[in-house]
């Protein structure tokens, strides 16, 4: 599977995957992780993917209707 991110559909800029920890339990264990793909030029974001991984975030960013449809 190709994990390369497509250019931003709005400005054509490059995208990167970001990871954010959303919370901890009382023992300081991470209980929720959010992955998002974001354009480094216009800051457009994919929907957040919780408790998943970088590959799923890349799939969310890359899944869009093709221009010729």
Q: What is the pTM of this model?
A: 0.67
Tell me: the pLDDT tens digits for 22-59? 777 677 675 677 888 999 999 999 888 776 678 888 88
Does residue 25 fall inside a structural domain?
yes
46 belongs to a structural domain? yes
Tally of domains in the chain: 1
CA 7-9-10 angle, 5° bins: 115
Contact 8, 15 (CB under 8 A): yes
Kindly state whether residue 30 falls inside one of the protein's structural domains: yes
* Of 35, 63, 64, nearest in space to 48 by CA: 35
Residue at token pair 């300081």: 28
**5: in domain:** no
Residue 48 lies in a domain: yes
Q: pLDDT category, 3, cuts 50, 70, 90?
A: low
Mode of pairing for the β-strands spanning 15-24 and 30-39: antiparallel
Range of 23's domain? 18-62
In a domain, 34, yes or no: yes
Assess if residue 40 is contained within a domain.
yes
Residue at 27 is within a domain: yes
């Amino acid at each position: 599977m190709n994990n390369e991110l497509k250019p931003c559909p709005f400005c054509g800029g490059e995208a990167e995957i970001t990871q954010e920890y959303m919370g901890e339990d009382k023992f300081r264990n991470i209980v929720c992780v959010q992955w998002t793909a974001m354009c480094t030029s216009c800051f457009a974001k994919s929907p957040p993917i919780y408790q998943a991984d970088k590959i799923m975030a890349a799939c969310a960013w890359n899944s869009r209707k093709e221009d010729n449809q």
